[in-house]
């Protein structure tokens, strides 16, 4: 009896073990709690997305706003109503978009405003620098369009960017896209680089093809060639003064582009530059000192001459390459920048007692112990 009882207990234990094993059915794998490990690289049909970066091949998006810093997008199509996007770069091949603003380099769009550098569009308004469009109105700086009212060109293109001097929002510097972030009359490359709101327009641009009555030479002869005026001086300084008084203490900027095509110089004190403020016999110049390879600001008061700041130019260009001086006055301080074709740069800043309490007056060109061909002069305000 005892043996039978022990056998029955053994059988019951075996049965209990089998009954307690729980095996998860295969069909339960992948339920709604499991993460989706798919990598999505082609978002379609999104609405109201913000802050997206690095998207590729997006289609059918609507109403996206405020996206910033998107890069490398390609092949976007069918987007509508996007506004306020900033900092996008590297987008190519976008087509069929409508109602977008602030974009660059798009093609095949309709109804866009505020764009630059677009081609092949129709019915757009308020754009600048576009080519190949038809039926657009209210644009500036466009070329090659049909049926557009706008500027009348003079057949010259000083900077070779494809935009006629009369229609170029920065006629002395290459900017085929005519990008103009501030929406005034001045392209970005011609703005004060730290404040696009400082200057508004080009007051005077002279590529020196014709002698204009707006110039007054003092102290010597200035000779016109084709697209240049040559000033030389040994040893006295020569000034070529633009006959327009810049209002005192309002922001303005003066720029000159020049070459050295007339050989070497001997004097260690040989200057080429711009006059950027003048009253009576007193004036300020910012000059490139060719032999010393530096940019300097000089103040002349009657017979007195004093240096008020200078900076060495790194990697200066050869004489046959272009050089450019640009002076900015913001209402209280002066910044003079130098740039050249070889990538040379220099910058001098003056303020406080080094500037007059009332800056303005005449502007112009200057050479001293130097032979220089100036190819353009620009006054910005």
Residues that bind Ca ion (CB under 5 A): 157, 159, 161, 163, 168, 170, 175, 180, 182, 184, 186
| Nearer to Ca ion (CB atom), residue 170 or residue 265 | 170
Residue 14: which residues within 8 A CB-CB, separation 6 or more?
none
Quick check: 107 and 95 in contact, CB under 8 A? yes
Q: Taking the complex as a whole, how short is the minimal distance between the CB of residue 148 and Ca ion, in angstroms?
A: 18
Q: Which helix (H) or strand (E) holds 275?
A: strand 271-279
Q: Taking the complex as a whole, how short is the minimal distance between the CB of residue 109 and Ca ion, in angstroms?
A: 22
- Which residue is it, tokens 């030479």? 217
Distance CA 324, CA 374 (A): 10
Q: Taking the complex as a whole, how short is the minimal distance between the CB of residue 177 and Ca ion, in angstroms?
A: 10
Distance CA 253, CA 256 (A): 10
Nearest to 334 by CA among 353, 321, 315: 353
Quick check: 294 and 255 in contact, CB under 8 A? no
Q: Taking the complex as a whole, how short is the minimal distance between the CB of residue 184 and Ca ion, in angstroms?
A: 4
Quick check: 190 and 170 in contact, CB under 8 A? yes
| Nearer to Ca ion (CB atom), residue 94 or residue 158 | 158
Q: Taking the complex as a whole, how short is the minimal distance between the CB of residue 135 and Ca ion, in angstroms?
A: 24
| Nearer to Ca ion (CB atom), residue 67 or residue 180 | 180
| Nearer to Ca ion (CB atom), residue 187 or residue 344 | 187
Tokens of 279: 């009253």
Cβ atoms < 10 Å from Cβ of 306:
10
| Nearer to Ca ion (CB atom), residue 174 or residue 215 | 174
């Amino acid at each position: 009896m005892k043996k039978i009882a022990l056998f029955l207990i053994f059988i019951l234990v075996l049965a209990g073990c089998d009954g307690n094993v729980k095996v998860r059915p295969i069909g339960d794998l992948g339920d709604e709690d499991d993460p989706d490990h798919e990598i999505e690289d082609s978002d379609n049909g999104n609405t109201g997305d913000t802050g997206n970066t690095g998207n590729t091949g997006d289609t059918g998006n609507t109403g996206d706003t405020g996206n910033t810093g998107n890069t490398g997008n390609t092949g976007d199509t069918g987007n509508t109503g996007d506004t306020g996007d900033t900092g996008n770069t590297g987008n190519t091949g976008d087509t069929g978009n409508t109602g977008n603003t602030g974009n660059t380099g798009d093609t095949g769009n309709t109804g866009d405003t505020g764009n630059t550098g677009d081609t092949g569009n129709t019915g757009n308004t308020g754009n600048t620098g576009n080519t190949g469009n038809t039926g657009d109105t209210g644009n500036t700086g466009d070329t090659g369009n049909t049926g557009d009212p706008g500027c009348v060109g003079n057949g010259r293109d000083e900077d070779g960017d494809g935009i006629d001097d009369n229609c170029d929002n920065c006629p002395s510097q290459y900017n085929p896209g005519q990008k103009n972030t501030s929406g005034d009359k001045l392209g970005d490359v011609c703005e004060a680089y730290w404040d696009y709101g400082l200057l508004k327009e080009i007051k005077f641009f002279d590529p020196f093809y014709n002698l204009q009555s707006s110039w007054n030479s003092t102290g010597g002869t200035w000779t016109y060639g084709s697209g240049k005026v040559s000033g030389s001086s040994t040893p006295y300084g020569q000034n070529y003064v633009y006959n327009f008084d810049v209002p005192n203490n309002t922001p303005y900027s003066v720029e000159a582009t020049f070459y050295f095509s007339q050989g070497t110089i001997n004097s260690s004190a040989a200057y080429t530059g711009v006059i950027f403020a003048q009253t009576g016999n007193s004036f300020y110049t910012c000059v490139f000192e060719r032999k010393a390879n530096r940019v300097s600001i000089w103040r002349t008061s009657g017979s007195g001459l004093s240096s008020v700041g200078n900076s060495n130019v790194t990697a200066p260009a050869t004489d046959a390459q272009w050089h450019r001086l640009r002076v900015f006055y913001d209402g209280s301080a002066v910044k003079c920048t130098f740039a050249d074709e070889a990538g040379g740069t220099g910058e001098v800043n003056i303020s406080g007692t080094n500037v007059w309490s009332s800056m303005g007056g005449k502007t112009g060109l200057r050479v001293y112990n130097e032979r220089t061909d100036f190819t353009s002069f620009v006054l910005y305000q």
